[in-house]
Amino acid sequence: MSLRLALLFSVAISSTACATTNILFLAGARSHGAGEHEFKAGCNLLAKAFNEQSGLDVQATVIQGWPSDESVLENIQGLVIYADGTSVVGKGWEKVDALAKKGVGIMFMHYAVHPSPAEGEKYYRPWIGGAFESGWSVNPHWVADLQTLPDHPISRGVSTPVQAYDEFYYNMRFPADRSKVRDLLTATPTRERIKRYINMWNEHGVAGLDKPQTLMWGIERPTGGRGVGFTGGHYHRNWSIDSFRTLALNAIAWTSGLDVPKGGVKSLPLTEDELNANLDDKGANKPRLTSIKPDEFSALPAAPIQTEREAAFPK
């Protein structure tokens, strides 16, 4: 090989190795009460961690809603959607499908993991491996001790369990061949840990008590690219838990094809000003959010069992 060719080859390798990873966050519109479903604020604080604190060559961009200029979807390596149901992705099914087939990493967070059964089958299972399904999945609010999949990159820099109180959905609809979907985060719901039974509580939720449940899952698609679903993210205050935030950042990095650092994706502890930044306008009397205090979840009483409703479940 000539010296000139060797130099060109070296420059090409260096350029590839140093290429910036572009991650696009699509945040949902205003939803729920103050401190809940704060999609825009949550996306902004995670993007800030990547751009200003992680030390990684990442450019993270946040857009609220489906982008009016779809050219922003070009040349991205990761797409994160944090929204109510399919309110965002539903405006671009075929565009996102094309991105998945091109190998772009896709991650859905919280309510965004909830499509219709048909959309779950056509899009979500090929893209990310599973989805919430009405009548099958459940959405109680409970205190989870999050356990990571040992030796997986999302566990780097995190000591488990990581405790959080959230609307952690469980009993997702996964493909028949479950071996292709990895359980990245699990936790075990119990009667004592459930603090609120919400509208979609059903017999499958009861059957899942006292058994490990999948709260974050991931796939590596046969055609290329990765996908992740995460059912947490209802309460904005949970982002003040350093390990909870690191788990999400690690998952986003892994989904986007990055090599997650040995100590996890770095981010600085959130100040309460940062926690309250970019919140949706939900009225003049919105409370100021505070950081999670140690052991505060232990003071929450268990929810009364919905005896009459559970008696009506089919046996």
CB 98 within 8 A of CB 71: no
Give the pLDDT confidence of 4-40 residue by residue, as tens digits: 444 444 434 444 445 999 999 999 999 998 999 999 9
**CATH topology for 19-281+291-311?**
Rossmann fold (3.40.50)
**Looking at residue 18, what is its pLDDT?**
55
pLDDT at residue 113, as a whole number: 98
Cα–Cα distance measured from residue 93 to residue 100, given in angstroms and rounded to the nearest whole number: 11
- What pLDDT does residue 298 have? 87
pLDDT (0 to 100) of residue 77: 98
Q: Return d(Cα 48, Cα 27) in angstroms, integer.
A: 14
Q: In the chain, which residues have pLDDT < 50?
A: 1, 3-17
Residue in 266, 237, 231 with CA at minimum distance from that of residue 250 = 266
Contact 37, 84 (CB under 8 A): yes
Return the DSSP state at 289.
Answer: P
What pLDDT digit, counting tens, does each position of 274-292 carry? 999 999 998 877 789 999 9
**Please, which residues have CB within 8 angstroms of residue 19's CB and are 6 or more apart in sequence?**
57
Contact 45, 270 (CB under 8 A): yes
Distance (Å) of CA 312 to CA 20, 170, 198, 304, 315? 55, 21, 16, 16, 9
| This prediction's pTM | 0.93
Determine the Cα–Cα distance for residues 307 and 315; give it in Å rounded to an integer: 14
Please report, for the chain, the start and end positions of each structural domain, with discontinuous segments joined by +.
19-281+291-311
Q: Encoding tokens for residue 71?
A: 């050219």
3-state secondary structure of 160: coil
